[in-house]
């Protein structure tokens, strides 16, 4: 029986892509005050960013319950006895906890390995896609797990934020704290390092942001996969894809929308790129 792969919505793998990859995506919860929504099930990205910008309430996200994972495990256990779960960085969300607790609760005979991706958004999404390919090529659970763990260090995520406003409002942001308090309007560029948001540098305009993101990829050496994401500005993401097309086949560039967890900090107009270095 082939290994089944499970991830969470913070991988930014949703909809058709999730279907094509034949993976299960467990939603986190997005909370605006008393209102709770299942991410991308009960609230879509457009609605999320609209409320983020126009409402005073700052949204927060909550990990899936152990039961949410248990239900998924039970369902999958009917058709397989090996599940690989790849979740968002344990330093950004408690999702890893829930996935692990659910594993202990599962009565069905099924082996489950859980990998902390130490990343988020397509930085994690590309790891999931690589794992799916490994399984397609015949890897069993242990091989796929080992492959995934090794792939973590090949993944890189760089995000351009249009404003510091939401970063300042948000909660724990690790070393990115150092970017706050700027008296000039600057646009921070961040990455995920050791599972945490970490500052890279700052630019003052969208075009300099484009240049920076482009240069990161251009200087990255050989890359296996590339993803471009936007929050509210698909046109900007199109421009980025166009620029990358000279160094990477355009049709192979994944496109997605920045997930609410990063979106809470990034705010509207943010962009993110992720890539996986070639082995």
- Residues lying near another protein in the complex (CB under 8 A) are found at 175, 177-178, 180-186, 191, 193, 198-208
C-beta of residue 64 within 8 angstroms of C-beta of residue 41: no
**How far from 199 is each of 3, 52, 64, 174, 175, CA to CA, in Å?**
36, 23, 28, 9, 7
Give the nearer residue to another protein in terms of CB position, either 204 or 250.
204
Q: Helix, strand, or coil here: 135?
A: helix
CB of 186 to another protein, least distance (A): 6
Give the nearer residue to another protein in terms of CB position, either 114 or 189.
189
C-beta of residue 274 within 8 angstroms of C-beta of residue 213: no
CB of 89 to another protein, least distance (A): 17
CB of 180 to another protein, least distance (A): 8
Q: Which residue, among 199, 157, 156, 152, has the nearest Cα to 174 in the 3D structure? A: 199
Give the nearer residue to another protein in terms of CB position, either 195 or 199.
199
Give the nearer residue to another protein in terms of CB position, either 1 or 183.
183
Partnered with residue 115 across adjacent β-strands are 86
CA 70 to chain CA centroid, Å, is 22
What's the angle, vertex CA 143, arms to CA 138 and CA 144, rounded to 5?
75
CB of 179 to another protein, least distance (A): 8
CA 238 to chain CA centroid, Å, is 19
Give 271's contacts (C-beta < 8 A, 6+ positions apart). 159, 160, 209, 213, 228, 229, 230, 231, 233, 236, 237, 240, 258
Give the nearer residue to another protein in terms of CB position, either 67 or 201.
201
C-beta of residue 124 within 8 angstroms of C-beta of residue 156: no
Give the nearer residue to another protein in terms of CB position, either 77 or 203.
203
CB of 157 to another protein, least distance (A): 13
Give the nearer residue to another protein in terms of CB position, either 187 or 230.
187
CB of 111 to another protein, least distance (A): 38
CB of 207 to another protein, least distance (A): 6
CA–CA gap between residue 228 and residue 230 (Å, rounded): 7
C-beta of residue 220 within 8 angstroms of C-beta of residue 275: yes
CB of 205 to another protein, least distance (A): 4
Partnered with residue 253 across adjacent β-strands are 226
Give the nearer residue to another protein in terms of CB position, either 199 or 263.
199
């Amino acid at each position: 029986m082939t290994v089944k792969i499970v991830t969470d919505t913070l991988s930014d793998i949703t909809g058709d892509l999730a279907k094509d990859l034949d993976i299960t995506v467990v939603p986190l919860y997005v909370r605006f005050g008393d209102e709770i929504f299942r991410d991308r099930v009960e609230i879509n990205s457009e609605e999320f960013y609209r409320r983020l910008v126009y409402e005073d309430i700052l949204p927060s996200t909550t990990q899936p319950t152990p039961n949410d994972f248990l239900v998924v495990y039970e369902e999958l256990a009917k058709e397989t006895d090996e599940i690989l779960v790849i979740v968002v960085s344990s330093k950004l969300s408690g999702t890893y906890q829930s996935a692990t607790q659910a594993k202990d609760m599962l009565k069905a005979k099924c082996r489950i390995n859980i990998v902390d991706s130490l990343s988020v958004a397509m930085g994690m999404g590309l790891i999931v896609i690589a794992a799916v390919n490994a399984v397609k090529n015949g890897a069993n659970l242990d091989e796929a797990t080992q492959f995934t763990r090794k792939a973590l260090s090949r993944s890189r995520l760089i995000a351009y934020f249009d404003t510091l406003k939401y970063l300042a409002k948000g909660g724990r942001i690790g070393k990115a704290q150092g970017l706050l308090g700027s008296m000039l309007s600057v646009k921070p560029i961040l990455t995920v390092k050791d599972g945490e948001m970490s500052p890279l540098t700052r630019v003052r305009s969208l075009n300099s942001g484009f240049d920076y993101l482009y240069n990161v990829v251009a200087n990255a050496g050989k890359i296996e996969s590339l993803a471009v994401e936007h929050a509210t500005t698909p046109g900007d993401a199109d421009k980025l894809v166009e620029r990358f097309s000279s160094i990477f086949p355009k049709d192979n560039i994944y496109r997605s929308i920045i997930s609410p967890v990063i979106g809470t900090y990034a705010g509207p107009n943010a962009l993110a790129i992720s890539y996986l270095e070639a082995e």
